Every structure is written in structure tokens, then in C-alpha cells.
A and B are shown apart, each in its own frame.
Chain A
């Protein structure tokens, strides 16, 4: 990292430490896979929409649904209210569909999948074929085998490459597959739920996604089932000039439970790439969904060149009484992030939680937060957001807490803290609070500060170098959120926090 190269190695700091830090400081997922790809022509129009639908062998109702979305999209304007600035996006200068040639015939099992693709995921630390341990997690090997089983759906550019543990999950009645497969195999479920949480016309990017989404994951947990293992989707953008538009639909039927993990990376390129995903979660009575994301798209280089534009709509609808949803996100990647995982607390006594760490370094811009819409009685929500800005980055928390007149005796607690490292970055908080009944309590707190000098001094006095000390203090700052992450992610996230801040000290 340039910033680190310029940092004078202070006396007493051994070279090995500096080298080690430099190594982790580079984006380690920046390589690409050389694989023959098949593209749809550049640009987006009804023909491309039809083509994507055709490639996925979709029934007619789905094609119609997409076309209606496209029609709607042409009348919409790009949102400008977020505190992010980027050059205008030419939506006609992108590929909307790219799949590895070898995926033309959908492989029936992982054995038939192109070894190059498997190698890609292996390199990312996700050995699809052998063991399904989520990667980059040190210490996971020591865990008992039962505890570390994770079923993975791997999405490569526009298509799902394969899904693991499907058979074992099927024994419990759990459906875990790519959404393209679900449209074919379980049309009744898809028809019933798709677009009911994030309507087709919800917002510019969600509408675009509705028209051109190519793949994504589908999860259905039947009533009363506790999903026997964690489910995970790993998104990889590989092709150049290609947007990734995935769609995830999770349905947790009455009394069920699932923990879902999402990871994403992309190669290092000079041009920015678009990623506009939609995630819909339906939570029925007494069900619980835990959704965790470690977002590590390529953030652009230290001069702000390249990177992913991450425009994502994520929403959970707690339809049933006593349903619960928990969003946890660690946002370290992407050049521009525009993302507000939300909870509609419709059922009485339903609960929504949002834990977020957003780290922006160099020229990254993040505008992220959540919406908690309280509709049912006795609903509870909790928001803990930690934003860290370094370098020349801008980090914004934007959120809404709304207590409707009928949401009696509801409760919200919001805490959003920002930490600034360096005097060229920015940290912003834009909360909307709407309280329309008096039996509910809403509390909002926000602070902005810099890394505490006393804490740093204490750490340095104990022999830590400055980078280590900052990492430790920052980890302490993020503790509330890190603790809410599933084990598989907690370690990775902790490391990411340290990595993303490399070069920001001094």
C-alpha cells in the first residue's frame, strides 16, 4: 500500500511486522480467473431481458414479470440523495449476463463442474467439493465436524455454479438452491413470495434487478424446522464490464430457524463495476432468520480507481407474530456502497436487529444503515452501527425508525458511532425518527470521535506499534457488532477490520 510505503518505519518496529502488515494490506482477492465466458450483448433492453429469461429456461410468467419491471425501470430516475459521488453510470455500456462457457449445460453434480471454477472457489478459500468450511477462518479446523458444516451456493458472475449439501438439507425438507432452479422446480413458492417484500417498483436499482437478475439463492425452511447447518452464498464477480444482479429469496415458515451467510469478492480492475442485488426475507410466525454478510468487493485502489458500485436492496418482512430477524453486516469493500437492510415488523412482538460495521478507507464511500418499520404491537428493534472512516473516505449512516400509531408498546434503541482516522475523511449520520404513538419508546444516540489518545498511549506503552494499537482500539470499538456475528465470520471480520485500515495511520 502506498500510504504504508511512505510511512517511516519507526525505531523499534521490526521490519518483519511492517512486511507482514504490507502483505495483508493488499486486497488479496484481486486476481481473476481466466475462463472462457459467454456474454449477452452489451446494454439493457427488452430483448436482453427476454434473453436472460430464456437462458434460465424460465416459464412465461417470469418473463412477463421481468418485462414489466423493465418497463417500469425506464420511467425511473437514479436516486441522488445518498452522500456518495461517482461519475454517471452508462447503463447501456455493461454486460448484464455473463456465464462460463462450461456452464452452458447445467452440471448435474459438483463432479461435473469445470475444475477451473472449483479451483477459483478453492483459491477464495471455499473448497466446494471436499470440505465445506467457510474460508479464511483460522481455527475452524479445530472445531468439531458437526459445528462447521456450511452449505454453500456459489454464484460466479451471472450463474450459480453449484450448491453443496443439497441432499442432506432435503432430508429435513429444507430447499436450498439457486433461484433459477427454484423458478423451475418450485414455481408455486417463488410465485407466492417473489417481489412481496421488495416490490418490483421499489426503487431504481431494485427495479433494474427485477428485470435483469440472473441468479442468486433460494431458501425455504419448512414449518418447525431448525436448519441443520448454516447456509451460505458466495458471490464472485469475475468478468470485466459485467454487472452482477443477483436475487436472494429466503422464506422461513412458521417456527423455523436459519442462519444465512453471504460473502463476496471481485478481481482488481481499473474500471468500476456495478452490483445491484435484491434480498427478500419472509419470516412467518415464531420463525427466526439470521443474515450475516461480509462484504469484501474490490474497493478500488488507493487512488480511488476501479472498485465495485454496490447498490443493494435488502429487506425482511416479519409477517408472523413473534418472528425475528437479525441483520449483521461487515462492510469493508466496494468503492461505493448504497445499502439499507431493513425490517418490516408487521407481526405482534416481532423483533428486528441490525448490527453493522462499515469501514471506508482511501476513496471509498459508504452510505449505509437500516430501516425499522414498526407496525405490530410490542415490536422491538435494535440498531448498532459502527462506522469507521480513514484516508479520504466518506462514511454515512442513514436510517429510519418508524413507530406507527398501531405499534403500541414498541421499543427501539439505536446507537451509531463513528470513528475518524485522519483529518481528510468524513463521517456522517442521517437518522430519521418518526414516532406516532406514545406507549412506544425510541432512543437514539450517536457519537463521533477519533481514536482515543489515552487508549493508544496505553497500548503503545505496552509495546504495541501504532498500527497494532489502532487495530486493537478499533476492534474494541466494533466489539458489539463482532460479537453478533456467527463464528464463521467473526474471525474473518476481525482480520478485515485490521486489514482495511492498513496504511491509515501516521
Chain B
């Protein structure tokens, strides 16, 4: 079917600014992805899946200018022992990164893989993204598959001793970065992947994660305090039997952030938890879009999303649990809550269930409201100043999402970040 004219024009204009990298074994995947983009067109304002978030600045030919961010605060996860992989404006920086050698894992740059004809990456690059295009289209992810020039391929075969930390640095006010990472976790292997830092003025990131039977992946991400950036990220995850995927994202500030999580439970007894906490002020717009597909027996999925909004900030949650026919004994849980600290902010949610199996327990809940006056009064009557009391209650509100992080040190680092934000913004 022909695309509407507006969409066609916008898509062509964007594509005109991009060149496909010399791609080797990823070439076929990239060409297929480009064909998908041409067929779907880039997201438009009238698309139902973009009802609450305007995609205009994410698809414009040039990235909108974004001021660089400076802070005296120590970098997040700075004290942790980790393997650092640094990208500056979406380009791998060998000087700033650690040596990519670690037992139990092999790490390569996508650029390096592209010169090879045979590589395990061929089985994964663009594969999960393509699967994730149905039933809902995600053209920005396909665009990424086709044109991302950098990223890493992480092959986890054992249990590496420290987390792999992807650090993004923003150096140019007009940078337009596209990164594509692929991660394969082998059977019984286990890894923790961290992501943080302001990446670029505009950042389009795609990560494909394939977890084999019994494998485990922990993912903790902090989207930085830089405010003017725009980001659209996709995580496509496929889980085998008894595999585990636990992801947590903290977002503070950001004029536009759209995080999509597409999770497919294909093996029995798999577990997937995705959680997010976000705090936003002013012209902050944050969108969590989650799509979890249960396609096996006895799997568990959990979505916990909490948003604190003030001064006209907007929080969006679109979550869906799809339970396919035969995916019996599914346990699906979804909660999305917002705390509106003043009258101008807004919370827009679309928590969906689509269920084709009868022996399941699925539930979702969504609430929105102001700080509980009774709780506030209680704290004040105990001598806690209003500001502290509000912060205390705000942190308590976010706790359920932060609790999803299993590693205590990581959780602590996240809480510190939140406390910092609250003390600056109250």
C-alpha cells in the first residue's frame, strides 16, 4: 500500500541524509531493514503508536541542536569495577575504553564485524528487530538496523567477573548518533550490562539480546541529566527456556525520550522483568513503550513503571502483554503509576492486555495522582520540613521500580542519583 504523502516525503528527506555503511556479513540484514523502512515509512503524528509522543524531531533530516551538559557530580557507576566501552557522539573511542578482553565474554565492534563474511552476528543482527515489527511497526528501529555504523557485539559464554559498561559521551551540539548493539547470552551464562551518559544531541539506539536456555542478563541503564537531547531507543529481547532478563531504566530530564522494550518469551519457565523510574521537570517528555509476548508455558513477566512529573512535564506509558494461544500458566503483571507534583504535568497511559490462553493470571494497574496529603501531614507533624517530607514520599513512590534492581551497589547508585535530582529540583 502506498504511504500517505506526508509520510513519504518525511521518510525520503530523512533517508537522503544517511549512507549505509560498508557492511560485510550484515549487508543483507541492512538491506532488508531499509526495505522495511521504505514500506512502513517513518513514524508520523497520526500513527496510533505515536499518539502521545510527537516523533517530528526524531525523524527530521538534521538533529536539533542540543547544548552540551557539564556537571561536577561524579559519574554514575564511577566507583564500580567494570569493563568500560566508551562511545563519543556515537563513535567508539579506543583511548577512553578499556581493553575489551574479559573472561567468559567476547566483545567486538560492529564495524570490525562488518569486514567479515562469516560471523555469529549474522544470525542475530537485525533478526530480533525484524521479528519485533509485528504486530506493531517500529520504523525507527529498522532505520537503525540499516544505517547504524557502530556498536558492539557481545558474546557471553561464561560468567564474566564484572559488568560491561557502555558509556555514552556527548561532544558536539549537533551530533546525530545511531548505535546498534547485539548481545548473545549462551546457555547458563550470565552477564550484567550497564548503560549511561548523554549520548548525542539525537540518539537512536537499538539493542538486540538473545538469551539461550538458562542464560541470564541484567541490564541497568541511566539516561543522563543532560536536558536538551532527544533519544529513541529499542531493546529487542528473546528468551529461551528458563532464561532470565531483568532490565531497569532511570531517566532524569530529557526533552524527549522514547524507550521501547520488546520482549519475547519463547522458552518455558522464562522470566522477564522490565522496570523504569523517571523524574522530569518542565518541558520533559518521557515515553515508555513496552510490548511483552508470552509464547511459552509457565513464564513470568513483570512491568513496573513509575514517573514523577512537575512543571508541565509529560509522562507516557504504553504497555502491552500479549499471551499467545497455548501460553498457559502465564503470570503477567504490569503496573504504571505517576506522581504529579503540580497541576500542569500530565500522565498519559495505555496499559493493554491481549490474551488468547485461559489458564493465565494477568493483571495491570495504573494510577495517577498527587502526593498523599495524609502521609505528608503525618511527616510534618513529626517535625519533618515540607520539602524533605515531599522528597521522602517521592522516593518511597519510586522505590517499587528501583527494587527491581537485584544488585545492591547498582541500586544504591541509582537512588543517589534520584536524591540528587530531588534536592536540586525541590
Contact = CB atoms under 8 A, between A and B. Distances in A.
A433 B350 contact: yes
A83 B350 CA distance: 16
A250 B342 CA distance: 39
A438 B370 contact: yes
A53 interface: no
B183 to A, nearest CB: 32
Contacts of A443: 365-367
Interface stretch (A312-320, A418-426, A479-487): A418-426
A429 B354 CA distance: 6
A48 B112 CA distance: 70
A477 to B, nearest CB: 14
A436 B359 contact: no
Contacts of A428: 352-355
Interface string B300-339: 0000000000000000000000000110100000000010
Contacts of A431: 349-352, 366
Interface in B117-160: none
B399 interface: no
Interface stretch (A213-221, A261-269, A447-455): A447-455
**Majority secondary structure of chain A interface residues (helix, strand, loop or mixed):** strand
B363 A435 contact: no
**Majority secondary structure of chain B interface residues (helix, strand, loop or mixed):** strand
Contacts of B370: 438-439, 441
B410 interface: no
Interface in A447-466: 447-450
A445 interface: yes
Given A423-B325, A435-B340, A449-B361, A441 B355 contact: no
A280 to B, nearest CB: 27
Given A423-B357, A450-B359, A444 B369 contact: no
A499 to B, nearest CB: 21
Contacts of A441: 367-370
**Which interface class (under 10, 10 to 19, 20 to 34, 35 or more) fits B?**
35 or more
A438 B343 contact: yes
B359 A446 contact: no
A440 B369 contact: yes
Contact of A427 (B353, B361, B363): B353
A13 B348 CA distance: 52
Contacts of A446: 351, 353, 363-365
Given A434-B348, A441-B368, A429 B353 contact: yes
Interface in B44-84: 48
Interface in A356-411: 405, 408
B424 to A, nearest CB: 21
Nearest to A432: B350
A435 B338 contact: yes
A438 B341 contact: yes
A241 to B, nearest CB: 31
Contacts of B363: 445-448
A426 B338 contact: no
Given A405-B343, A423-B326, A433 B358 contact: no
B346 interface: yes
Contacts of A437: 340, 343, 346
A81 to B, nearest CB: 7
Interface of A: 81, 83, 405, 408, 418, 420-450
9 contacts: A425-B356, A427-B355, A433-B347, A434-B346, A438-B340, A438-B341, A439-B343, A444-B365, A446-B351
10 interchain residue pairs of minimum CB distance: A438-B340, A420-B358, A435-B368, A441-B369, A429-B353, A433-B349, A444-B366, A436-B346, A438-B370, A448-B362
Interface of B: 48, 325-326, 328, 338, 340-370
Given A429-B351, A435-B347, A449-B360, 9 more contacts: A429-B354, A433-B347, A435-B368, A437-B346, A441-B370, A442-B367, A446-B364, A447-B361, A448-B353
